[in-house]
Amino acid sequence: MHYFAARAKGGAGLIVTTPNMVWPPSTSGGHVATRDDEAMPAFEMISQAIHEHGAKAVAQLVHLGPDIGVLESGGAGLAASAVGGISGLLPSILGSDIPHEMDNDDIKQIVASYADTAYRMRETGYDGVEISSAVGAGMLLISFLSPLTNRRTDEYGGSLENRFRLHTEIIDAVRKAVGSDFVVGMRLVGDMLVDGGTTLDDTKVLAAKLEASGKVDYLSICAGRAGHIPAMHFPLGCFVHLAAGVKEVVNLPVICHGRINDPAQAEQTLSDNQADLVGMARALICDPEWPNKAREGRLDEIRKCIACNQGCYGNFQKRLPISCTLNPAAGREKELATIVPAATKKKVMVIGGGAAGLETARVAALRGHKVTLYEKEKELGGQLNIAAKIPKREDFAEVPRYYAYQMNHLDVEVFLETTVTVEMVKEKKPDAMVIATGSVPSRPPVPGGDRANVVWVRDVLRGEVAVGEKVVVIAAEHHEQALGVANFLANKGKRVELITHCLYSGIELDSGTMGFMYGQLLNKGGAITPLTRVKEIEEHAVVTLNVLTGVERRIEGVDSVVFAAIGKADDTLYRALKGEVKEIYAVGQCLSPRLLPDSIWDGTRVGRWL
């Protein structure tokens, strides 16, 4: 309720709420089913909260079909045919169980459940429903629509019209249940992006059919499995062309989606008649005030989504609550939506201009403290400036851009190229100190790890060290550093082999980002060697061991070894100042080397404590 209220208050005109399960009547795949009587008061609260701020509420009706999973639903998944995985060729993110092939009785029951759910949502105050036939949320309908998963020979299989029959039966039943004065929308995959799946030409045919029925009020057009939630490596507006294609054949309002995070970009989409409405999810997770800021011309104040997919889609894949790397209040709106002014105004000194220090300074300034920030480099951003050098990860540069604006906007005094000492702090006499000095390099803990040909990942990305033609990258972290620097070097024509002791590199990445980075590296001739650790580094060779068998292997002719690790906490100043300053905190990697969301979360918490 608080999450949706924040987006409505922030200026969104229409909010399509999270997937509402139409079946079974209790819980399914972690979602509350809207056919559960005990859930109705909660949905009333959500619709009322949205309406209080002038927005309209539409409930997305979904059935996960084959991806419900035996353990989560208490029974088998349902699908058009007994074909496992999302496409019958690719394994599902949620499992690879073989679903139950639906018979006509099953189909009638599901159609009725959609109608019943739509009626219930009208009764709970919603303004409409959106029937989802999209990869992820609408897997039941996708299983019927896709020729890869629909192997039926009855009236629900074969031709495009037959494979779409279940959709039209659901729409007919829903419209009958809710009447003519209630919005019914349809979310369609513009292109499945999988060989053998439906294409934009197919979607145009279906869109025209839906308009001719007179029973659908709008169409929402997304893309298929290969880029359903496009990560940073996709260009902005990557799927808008699909909505534009559908608009060519219908007069129904069409909603577009796909990495739209900038007001000028969104406005141009409308001006070019590519869509009638612009759909955003992650952009409003990142900054719920996005629409109001755009409307008021406060464009530089917008915290733009960088599509890192860490707190949103990444958390979803790990079955964790949705959050946001750049917006710690996302998913915690009840507790964190409001920044309360400090009862006592303090002089706060922040040391370090990376993400943790910047977020601390931003929140502390919003609370009314007098904040000064010191950074030893010539620009703000810390490791974000390094991460932005990785191929297709340039959007990381948006984060220091946003914070640099906030420092100026909130009158935070910033000192660049300044190294802070204990004596300087004693001279300034701050009321509170926040140490955000980050981390320092570490060396591989193996014989030869201190050789001159062994370099740290950050130095390579900054261009501060020379790297030879044949390179071994040691993955001592599980996110994107190793894959990122491997791609960086492969782009420069280096012969790269990445070694990881895990089953695969990048196990903490979301599947979309990881898959792209793998493909990028392998297509440039790079190699990825799993289940392998380094035994010794020699002058021109690396000796490795298989972690399961203990079998040794020598990689000969190695010019450089790149060590990809988060590093060690640079907490020297923090420890030196303990006891010298009344109030002192360590944040970010100075506290403990972790990922970007953790650093920003540290900053927002300490900023609220000061």
* Residues in CB range of 123: below 8 A, 6 or more apart: 40
Give span(s): CATH 3.50.50.60, the chain.
Answer: 454-564
Q: Which CATH architecture has domain 2-335?
A: Alpha-Beta Barrel (3.20)
| Range with the poorest average pLDDT among 64-78, 159-173, 243-257 | 64-78
- Measure the CA dihedral 580/581/586/587, to 10°: -150
What mean pLDDT is predicted for residues 136-141?
77
**Taking Cα atoms as reference points, which of 288, 204, 194, 181 lies closest to residue 254?**
204
* Residues in CB range of 500: below 8 A, 6 or more apart: 475, 482, 528, 529, 530, 531, 532
Q: What is the pLDDT of residue 137?
A: 62
Q: Which two tokens stand for residue 61?
A: 């009706």
DSSP state, residue 300: G
CA distances from 506 to 368, 512, 555 (A): 41, 11, 22
Give span(s): CATH 3.40.50.720, the chain.
Answer: 345-440+568-609
Q: What is the pLDDT of residues 81-138, one digit of tens each?
A: 988 754 444 444 444 568 889 999 999 999 999 999 999 999 999 999 999 998 766 6
Give span(s): CATH 3.20.20.70, the chain.
Answer: 2-335
Enter the CATH code of domain 454-564: 3.50.50.60
**What is the pTM (predicted TM-score) of this model?**
0.92
Percent of the chain residues past pLDDT 70, beyond the cut: 94
Q: What is the pLDDT of residues 294-343, one digit of tens each?
A: 999 999 999 999 999 999 988 887 878 889 999 999 999 999 989 999 99
Q: Which CATH architecture has domain 345-440+568-609?
A: 3-Layer(aba) Sandwich (3.40)
Residue 383 scores a pLDDT above 90? yes
